[in-house]
Amino acid sequence: MIYWAPLLHFYQPPTQIHWVLDRICDESYRPLIKLFDEIPTAKVTININAVLTELLRDHGKHDIIEGLANLAKRGQVEFTGSGKYHPILPLIPHDEMVRQIRRNHLINKHFFGDVYAPRGFFPPEMAFSKDVVVPIIATRHEWVILSGVACPVTWPMDVIHELNVDDDKVAIFFRDDILSNRISFQDIDGKRFIDHLKGLKREEGDVYVITAMDAETFGHHIQHWEKLFLANVYEAMDPAKDLYPEVKQKKVLSDQHLSILKYQAEAGSSEIRTVLISNLLDIFKRGKKITPKSSSWSTSEQDIRAGNYYPLWKDKNNPLHVLQWEHLNLAIELHDKAQELADNPTSHQFAEIARGLLDTALQSDQFWWANKGSRWDINMVDRGLRQHQEVMLNAYKSISMSNSSEEVKRVYYYRVVVSRDIRNKIRDRLLYEQ
């Protein structure tokens, strides 16, 4: 048997504007939910960052939250954990990693209810380093998915390797980068995808394949791709597909239909079966103890050799990235000092405002859009810059209202002055660079 475990990543930044979110919901999210409603044996692992869940609530898209929750109740969907505001986890302080992961869980648990019980973890952009392992294990995740480029051993298809930290361990899954990118860039159709999976069959036992990509690939980035590719693939490998004409005529599936579909999906003779990633833990044996390479799903082997592990978010050869991180690190430093020095109601108030603002200021899009070429949007970069600035405004106000010494206040005021210079340099680059 060949087990295919697909993952879809749902995310929009906290700075997203209403009409863009409207379009994405209509072109991608709602058609995907409809597809899974119509193919009751189709399964998928989903990551949805809690910032998007809140955006859906705030913009009146309750049907999408309910649709995903209903799919999870039917066993077609499992959720993963992640960081709430989609930060590049290896690039932020440990305490911020833990906070982002925990807040992501609390918010999604609130909106999705008991069906939000993630066994797995999706690091935003699959950005990984050993530093992220402890927070992942501490928040009781059993597995983490990484880019294939992070794999340090022979490609695993019939075993699941593990990463150990002290007495704890977490299972490591790797996405098939080549196959995932072929789907994302419309370089393979449903028939050739099925043929590719069949070609992986081994006489000596079962194998698995994991694909992962942005949910917005289907319908938003590529028009109608959820029908032309996903529906095509799911129906082709489904032993219960002969029931679809009758099922599609009914608004609600009867218990009898669901029982038949479940039985046929589990006992069918198809060579390929679609599963949730967590299902693989019960099917395949454990392999080696490994340490994956620091990387992301946009990192190449050449980047790794150059020590440039997260090139779209912190490229040491990108002057704008260098300035952005200098600016953000100043915001983090001022925030931390405000938390430390707050010693009266007024200083506590501004320190708490800075605390909430820093959460959103860690989002990854501001760096992604600071890359030349197709990834270049001066407004997304500037929005991130303004988020940092608001953190510093409230953090320094907290420090200035505290009972700390004038010398300490002067030292951190100089940090604010330095941040202005960095901001001006960034904005000059946005104005004059093409």
pLDDT in tens, 353-369: 999 999 999 999 999 99
Give the phi and the psi of residue 372 in degrees, each rounded to 5: -65, 160
pLDDT given for residue 340 in this prediction: 98
pLDDT at 375: 81
In this predicted structure, what is the pLDDT of residue 167? Answer: 85
Residues 6+ apart with CB under 8 A from 417: none
Per-residue model confidence (pLDDT) at position 14:
92
Q: Is the pLDDT of residue 224 over 80?
A: yes
Q: CA nearest 31: which of 214, 231, 211?
A: 231
What is the pTM (predicted TM-score) of this model?
Answer: 0.92
Task: Report whether 260 contacts 240 (CB < 8 A).
Answer: yes
Instruction: Kindly state the average pLDDT of the residues 361-381.
Output: 93
Report the pLDDT averaged over residues 213-240: 92
Tell me: pLDDT of 255 over 80: no
Q: Is the pLDDT of residue 100 over 90?
A: yes
* Separation in Å, CA 282 to CA 51, 137, 285: 31, 19, 8
> Sorting pLDDT into bands at 50, 70 and 90, what band is 76?
very high
Work out the average pLDDT over 194-207.
Answer: 91
Mean pLDDT of 116-134: 97
**Residue 197, token pair as written in the block:** 């999976």
Helix extents (H) in 223-282? 225, 232-236, 244-248, 255-267
Do residues 152 and 143 touch, judged by C-beta distance below 8 A?
no
Q: Which of 45-49, 160-164, 261-265 has the lowest mean pLDDT?
A: 261-265
Residue 32: closest CA among 2, 59, 63, 4: 63
pLDDT of residue 257: 56
Domain 2-289, architecture per CATH: Alpha-Beta Barrel (3.20)
Mean pLDDT over the full length of the chain = 93
pLDDT band for position 172 (50/70/90)? very high
**Percent of the chain, pLDDT > 90?**
88
Q: Which residue has the higher pLDDT, 434 or 361?
A: 361
> Where do the domains of the chain lie?
2-289, 319-432
b/e sequence 70-105, b meaning 16+ C-beta within 10 Å = ebbebebbbbbbbbbbbbbbbbbeeebbbbbbbbbb
Q: Is 90 exceeded by the pLDDT of residue 57?
A: yes
pLDDT digits (tens, 9 = 90+) for 333-344: 999 999 999 999
